[in-house]
Structure 1
Amino acid sequence: MTPRPVRDRQGVTVIGGGAVSDADLTQALGVAPVLVAADGGADQALALGRAPDWVIGDLDSISHSARRRIPSSRVMHVAEQDSTDFVKCLSRIDAPVVMAVGFAGLRLDHTLAALTAMVQPQAPCVVMLASDDVIFACPPRLMLPLMPGTRVSLYPMGPAQGTSTGLEWPIEGIGFAPGGRVGTSNRATGLVTLRMEGPMLVMLPRDCLGTALTALQRPLR
């Protein structure tokens, strides 16, 4: 098993090389104060005035100038090419939540790879911030106290099915699958509960971050 040297009882923020604003990073660090750069994400962090606590990756994207500014003791070179830099980071983090910024926008292939990593069985609890969305893997049981009319998008990353309450269009009896039936742009009618089998992403508006974090830390039994 891969050692997990990056540990924090509150949370860890991972920054990638995609689109990220100062507001994104500030919001993420308010939740998860330890900053890990996935390879070239170190340049993003430094450009926003934040020195990463750790840099993890195969180091093929980080600039020479960024590398000089970060102590070598805080750089983890993982040479293997069988996983993405985001996966390399996640597999070395021990924290109750990982906030991911800089993994949406710019490179669609990087975004898809990061979303795929989030639904893996061994992945920690990851919450990704995109320009308009909060994205996370649905646990087997989830309760979300949402205002009526709030967008609730469900996107399967493999065969999935479940039950729901509080959605305008219930999901009972639907076999979800990529390239098949998906559940984008559903809407809450109030308190939403989900019981899910299979890998499913939940996407909510950005102003629902606090609700999502509370729900993920207090899963429905």
Structure 2
Amino acid sequence: MKHSIVHSLTPVLLVGGGDCAPDQLGPLVRRAGAVVAADGGAEVLLSSGHFPDAVIGDMDSLSDAARARLPADRLHEISEQDSTDFDKCLRSIEAPLVWGAGFLGARLDHQLAAMTVLARHPDRRCVLIGAEDVVMLAPPRLSLDLEPGARFSLYPLGPVTGRSTGLRWNIDGLDFAPDRMTSTSNEVAAPRVDLWLDAPRMLLILPVAAFPELERALERSDARWPAPA
């Protein structure tokens, strides 16, 4: 059973210990309904002059100095070692959307682990925000107003099919799988892109400039994947 630590009616910012530009972090902090650190992500926030509302993880990356600066009731230790700190956080946050900063860039193995977590918790809407890209597990349906020519990449984490309109190469009739068919480096061909998918296994990868429109599109849509059985 999932136990939620953080509850918010507005988007929550979740900060990891990876690459996170201060000029990107500040605006997200100011807009967030709550700010959560994944273990060592607290160091990133503190060094930028921000305090997390909660720190969740196994606490093996949190220095004694950082711990001393944080109220004890904001520290939520989950000691099991079978999941990453990102996993521990995502399953512990109840919010309409989670913005994940500090999970893209830096180590490739950490990025792959984060994307696996997105697929493991398809009911938790989460957009990972990096210096160049935004990444999320695509919902069942999504409509986006994007500039023609913009990059629109789809990468399957398992077998999945779907339909689309507005792409240079629409995906109708294609059977996607990571060892067979992908749709990376696809391109927007019309002002509106519509996407339908049959399973929670497709990553949507867009330029970071598309983040505001992606956020608006998610607010407009109630299409969500159910929690895993």
3-state DSSP of counterpart to 2:79: coil
1:107-138 C-alpha deviation (Å, 9 max, x unpaired): 21111111111122454110110111111111
- Stretch of structure 1 that moved more, 31-40 or 207-216: 31-40
SS in 1 for 2:205: strand
Cα distance in 1 for partners of 2:222, 2:89 equals 28
Does residue 195 of the first structure (1) align with residue 223 of the second (2)? no
User: Aligned residue for 1:151?
Assistant: 151
**Deviates most, 53-62 or 111-120:** 111-120
Letter in 1 for 2:92: R
Relative distance call for 1:65 and 1:42 in structure 2 (3 A) is same
- The AA in structure 1 aligned to 2:204 is V
Q: CA deviation at 1:189?
A: 1.3
Distance in 2 separating the partners of 1:170 and 1:128: 24
Cα drift, residue 147 of structure 1:
1.3
CA distance in 1, matches of 2:133, 2:147: 16
The answer on whether the counterparts of 1:32 and 1:98 sit within 8 Å (CA) in structure 2 is no
1:27 and 1:204, CA in 2 relative to 1: closer, same or farther beyond 3 A?
A: farther
* Percent identical: 44
The 1:122/1:151 distance shift into structure 2, 3 A limit, reads closer
Query: Counterpart of 2:40?
Result: 40
**Equivalent residue for 1:69?**
69
Letter in 1 for 2:171: I
- What is the root-mean-square deviation of aligned Cα atoms in Å? 1.4
**Which residue of 2 is the match for residue 133 of structure 1?**
133
After alignment, is 177-186 or 50-59 more displaced?
Answer: 177-186
Give the drift of 1:184: 0.7
* Greater percentage in strand: 1
Task: Tell whether the 8 Å contact from 1:15 to 1:100 is kept in structure 2 after alignment.
Answer: yes
SS of 1:67's partner is helix
Shift of 1:219: 2.1
Q: What secondary structure, in the 3-state scheme, does the structure 2 residue paired with 1:167 have?
A: coil
Q: Calculate the TM-score normalised by the size of structure 1.
A: 0.95
2:183 matched to 1:183?
yes
Mapping for residues 13-32 of structure 1, pairs under 5 Å: 13-32=13-32
Task: Report deviation, 1:218.
Answer: 1.9
CA distance in 2 between counterparts of 1:142 and 1:32 reads: 23
- Take 2:38 and 2:17, find their aligned partners in 1: how far apart are those partners? 8
Letter in 2 for 1:206: V
Inter-CA distance 22–209: structure 2 relative to 1 (3 Å threshold): same
The change in CA–CA distance for 1:220 and 1:67 in structure 2 (over 3 A counts) is closer
Structure 2 distance, partners of 1:77, 1:13, is 19
Please, which runs of 5 or more residues in structure 2 have no aligned partner?
Answer: 224-229
Shift of 1:220: 7.3
Q: Which residue matches 1:210?
A: 212
Instruction: Give runs of aligned pairs for residues 3-22 of structure 1, distance below 5 A.
Output: 3-22=3-22
Preserved CA contact (<8 Å) 2:21 2:131: no
Code of the aligned partner of 2:202: M
* Counterpart AA for 2:196: R
User: In structure 2, what is the Cα distance between the partners aligned to 1:111 and 1:9?
Assistant: 27
> Does structure 2 conserve the Cα–Cα contact (< 8 Å) formed by 1:142 and 1:220?
no
Q: Distance in 1 between matches of 2:221 and 2:144?
A: 10
76-85 vs 31-40, greater mean Cα deviation: 31-40
| Residue 217 of structure 1: how far off its partner (Å) | 1.9
Name the structure 1 match of 2:99: 99
Aligned to 2:142: 142
Instruction: Name the counterpart of 2:81.
Output: 81
